[in-house]
Each structure stands twice: as structure tokens, then as C-alpha cells.
């Protein structure tokens, strides 16, 4: 994403979802001049300021294209077998792994977390922590899918949920 950022451009900020670049500013911090992106997260209205030269390393990226959207939909539709060793992993370890994946901002990885928790929800009632991670993954995916497909956030949420309706 080394091309220049533009005010009004929509980007994805890891673990927060889609935001709009509101401004590009220069600011002096501790004697250094920094160029900063001001990003307003669309779903929460949170404002995040990111140094332009660190944005890519932090994980700020453009909205996924059609090819990535297809990969995400494929991940969501997969129904992997849970291995016996998977069931023995403690909730603490699973929780930490899920959180790391959601915070990564990698849309395919977040889709895996969403899929795995939606499938687990069919088997048992999710714990409070699992529900929070599921909601976070759903919000993240729905915000980006809505932008990528040009549909409303609610339509994107419905699309996600429809992939897991029992036959």
C-alpha cells in the first residue's frame, strides 16, 4: 500500500474494520516531523491517527478486491473436520489464538475464526469470551464485505449468517 493515501479513501484498520481517511496531517512529535493519517472507523466512529510510514506495517490496507472476497467466501463455506487434538486444547489457548487472528486484520484469517466459532455454536452454547470474539469477527467481516460488494452492513451480516443456517 505504498501508493499515496487520499482523503476520503476507505481502508481497513486491523481489529477495527473499515474506516475513512479524514485527513493527512503533518505534526511535530518529540522534535520529529511526522505525516499522520487520521482514520475514522465507520462502524464505531472511533478516530485513529497513524504515521503514514508505519501504516502498512501496522496492517492498514485497502478494501479487499474480488479475488480476495472469493477466497474469504470459500473459507466461510469450508467445513473442516475438527481433530481430536483440537478438542483437547484449553480454552485459554484457543481464546488467545482467536484474538491474535482477529487482531491481525487478515480477512481470510478472521473468516476462519468466524467460521470455526459459528460451527462450534452448533455443537454447544458459546462462552462469553467466544461470543465476544465471534461478534468482533462478524463486525470486522461484515464491514469489509459490505464495502467490497457494495451492500449495506446489515445485508453483509445477513449474508454471513446465512452461510451457517442449518439445512
Query: Residue 78 is part of a domain; what is its CATH number?
Result: 1.20.58.1290
Query: What does the pLDDT read at residue 86?
Result: 65
What percentage of the chain reaches a pLDDT higher than 70?
94
For the cut 50, the answer to whether the pLDDT of residue 137 exceeds it is yes
Of 1, 110, 100, 106, the closest CA to residue 55 belongs to 1
The reply to whether 57 and 73 lie within a common domain is no
Interval 12-65: pLDDT, tens: 998 788 999 999 999 888 898 999 999 999 988 999 999 999 999 999 999 999
Cβ-based burial of 45 (10 A; exposed 0-12, middle 13-18, buried ≥19): exposed
Q: Which domain holds residue 133?
A: 66-162
How far apart are alpha carbons 51 and 24 in whole angstroms? 9
For the cut 80, the answer to whether the pLDDT of residue 1 exceeds it is no
110-134 as b/e, with b when 16 or more CB fall inside 10 Å? bbbbbbbbbebeeeeeeeeebeebb
For the cut 60, the answer to whether the pLDDT of residue 88 exceeds it is yes
Mean pLDDT of the chain: 90
Task: Check: CB of residue 110 under 8 Å from CB of residue 141.
Answer: yes
pTM of the model: 0.85
Does 1 map to a domain? no
The reply to whether 34 and 106 lie within a common domain is no
- Indicate the pLDDT class of residue 2, thresholds 50, 70 and 90: very low
SS3 of 120, please? helix
Beta-ladder partners of 11: 19, 62
Q: What is the phi/psi pair of residue 38, to 5°?
A: -105, 115
Query: What does the pLDDT read at residue 85?
Result: 55
Query: What does the pLDDT read at residue 87?
Result: 67
The reply to whether 45 and 122 lie within a common domain is no
The reply to whether 35 and 70 lie within a common domain is no
Q: Which of 36, 62, 88 is the last residue of a domain?
A: 62
The reply to whether 74 and 43 lie within a common domain is no
Amino acid at each position: 500500500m505504498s501508493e499515496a493515501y487520499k482523503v476520503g479513501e476507505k481502508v481497513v484498520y486491523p481489529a477495527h474494520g473499515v474506516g475513512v481517511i479524514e485527513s493527512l496531517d503533518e505534526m511535530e512529535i518529540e522534535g520529529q516531523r511526522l505525516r499522520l493519517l487520521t482514520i475514522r472507523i465507520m462502524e464505531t466512529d472511533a478516530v485513529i491517527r497513524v504515521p503514514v510510514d508505519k501504516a502498512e506495517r501496522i496492517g492498514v490496507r485497502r478494501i479487499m478486491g474480488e479475488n480476495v472476497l472469493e477466497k474469504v467466501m470459500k473459507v466461510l463455506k469450508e467445513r473442516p473436520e475438527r481433530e481430536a487434538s483440537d478438542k483437547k486444547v484449553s480454552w485459554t489457548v484457543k481464546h488467545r489464538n482467536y484474538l491474535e487472528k482477529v487482531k491481525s486484520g487478515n480477512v481470510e484469517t478472521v473468516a476462519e475464526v468466524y467460521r470455526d466459532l459459528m460451527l462450534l455454536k452448533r455443537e454447544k452454547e458459546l462462552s462469553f469470551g467466544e461470543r465476544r470474539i465471534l461478534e468482533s469477527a462478524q463486525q470486522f467481516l461484515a464491514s469489509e464485505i459490505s464495502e467490497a460488494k457494495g451492500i449495506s452492513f446489515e445485508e453483509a451480516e445477513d449474508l454471513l449468517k446465512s452461510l451457517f443456517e442449518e439445512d
